[in-house]
Amino acid sequence: MDGQQYITLKDGTPMPKLGMGTWCLGDYRSERDKEIDALRAGLDAGIEMIDTAEMYGEGKSEKLVGEALRGYRRENLFLVSKVYPHNAGRARIYRSLEGSLKRLGTDYLDLYLLHWRGSVPLGETVECMEELVRSGKIRHWGVSNFDTSDMEELFQEESGANCAVNQVLYHLGSRGIEFDLMPWLGERGIPVMAYCPLAQAGALRKEIMENQVLRETASRYSITVMQLLLAFVMQQEGVAAIPRSGSREHVLENVEAGNIVLEPQDLQRISAQYPPPDRKQPLDIV
Ligand SMILES: NC(=O)c1ccc[n+]([C@@H]2O[C@H](COP(=O)([O-])OP(=O)(O)OC[C@H]3O[C@@H](n4cnc5c(N)ncnc54)[C@H](OP(=O)(O)O)[C@@H]3O)[C@@H](O)[C@H]2O)c1
């Protein structure tokens, strides 16, 4: 990358603006070498953040990431994992975290997220997360798939305001969070970590790949529509993105996209095709 881009967390820690997602990576043995090569291509090109979860392949993704990371300096990395909601209470979270750390081959996470809201009371999860921060096993904690009302409830809990990040679905074709969630988080210094920033290669918004305005705009910058989608997300203030790829070529394209600055008139043009919301929309999830 030309230069690393970071977002500053509330405690002053820099969090990379671009990371690599890993959902489905590690699922198939036959893809393993290719996927490790893709992750290492990203690390070698300067990507420092990797997002994973105990849920992905029931630990297979974390194991794959652990293997890809071998030989890289831990202090230069920003590792994110997530706990299943049913494991996010006093009875299980410590074992869950130990499992993630072991599979990743590290002794701490930079960020540990509650994957989505479940039946464990939020206050209990927060207490456990705070304890894990104190013990040094995680540096920060956050949430995922929390809408504005969930964030408000979280902030009612003691230490709930220590939440560092909210990871939610966000791409050009799904901009609902811009109406209320993004401003709410922004006012409180909580970055958004955008998942599915590529709309899952268009699978979440079928026509997006064929849109003529997007195609023309992308070709003027000599980039692909996927890179345009990523550049759009990366250009939002306080937003990090974690595109996933099992291909070295695509990872390197994503690194390039992180450096592209779209001109205001081009942002307007693509926004006219996929306008921001003019009213509250329920949080999009996959
Ligand atoms: N918190 C949550 O609930 C949640 C939910 C979903 C996802 N996530 C996280 O967010 C990450 C990203 O979301 P996602 O994996 O669902 O979707 P995504 O990143 O929007 O899209 C992934 C798809 O895009 C393709 N791709 C990647 N780079 C490309 C490029 N430059 N050109 C063309 N195709 C490209 C990949 O295929 P190739 O492998 O062939 O490149 C893959 O099919 C996940 O991996 C996961 O870490 C979190």
To test the pocket of ligand 1, the residue of 18, 20, 23, 62 to mutate (highest count of ligand atoms within 8 Å of its CB) is 23
Six-digit token pair at 81? Answer: 């994992």
pLDDT value at 2 more than 60 = no
Mean pLDDT, the chain, rounded, equals: 97
192 lines ligand 1 (CB under 6 A): no
Q: Is the C-beta atom of 39 inside 6 A of ligand 1?
A: no
Domain membership of residue 180 (yes or no) is yes
Per residue, what are the HEC states of 21-52?
ECCCCCCCHHHHHHHHHHHHHHHHCCCCEEEC
CATH assignment at residue 130 = 3.20.20.100
Structure tokens at 186: 């922004």
φ/ψ of residue 176, rounded to 5: -50, -35
Question: Which atom of ligand 1 lies nearest, measured to the CA of 199?
Answer: 20
pLDDT tens readout for residues 89-134: 999 999 999 999 999 999 999 999 999 999 999 999 999 999 999 9
Within a domain: residue 53? Answer: yes
Q: Which atom of ligand 1 is nearest to the CA of 224?
A: 32
pLDDT at 4: 79
Determine the Cα–Cα distance for residues 193 and 82; give it in Å rounded to an integer.
13
Say what the pLDDT of residue 116 is. Answer: 98
Q: What's the pTM?
A: 0.98
Q: Sign of the C-alpha dihedral, residues 168, 256, 38, 215?
A: positive
d(CA 251, ligand 1 centre) in Å: 11
Is residue 231 in a domain? no
Query: Would you say the CB of residue 199 lies under 6 angstroms from ligand 1?
Result: yes
Chain-centroid distance, C-alpha 245: 13
What confidence tens digit (pLDDT) does each residue in 49-74 have?
999 999 999 999 999 999 999 999 99
What distance in angstroms lies between residue 243's CA and the mean position of ligand 1's atoms? Answer: 5
CA dihedral 176, 158, 13, 48 (to 10 degrees): -60
- Examine residue 44 and state whether it is found in any structural domain, yes or no: yes
The bridge status of strand 49-51 relative to strand 19-20 is: parallel
Q: Does residue 268 form part of some domain?
A: no
Which range marks the domain in which residue 172 is found?
Answer: 6-201+237-247
In angstroms, the CA 238 to CA 252 distance is 23
Binding site membership of 202 for ligand 1 (Cβ less than 6 Å): no
* Total number of domains in the chain: 1
The response to whether residue 144 sits with its C-beta less than 6 Å from ligand 1 reads: yes
Residue 124, domain member (yes or no):
yes
**How confident is the model over 78-90, as a mean pLDDT?**
98
Ligand 1 atom showing the smallest separation from residue 196 Cα:
20
Q: How far is the CA of 239 from the centre of ligand 1 (A)?
A: 16
Whether residue 209 is contained in a domain is answered as no
CB distance 196 to ligand 1 below 6 Å: yes
Residue 66 lies in a domain: yes
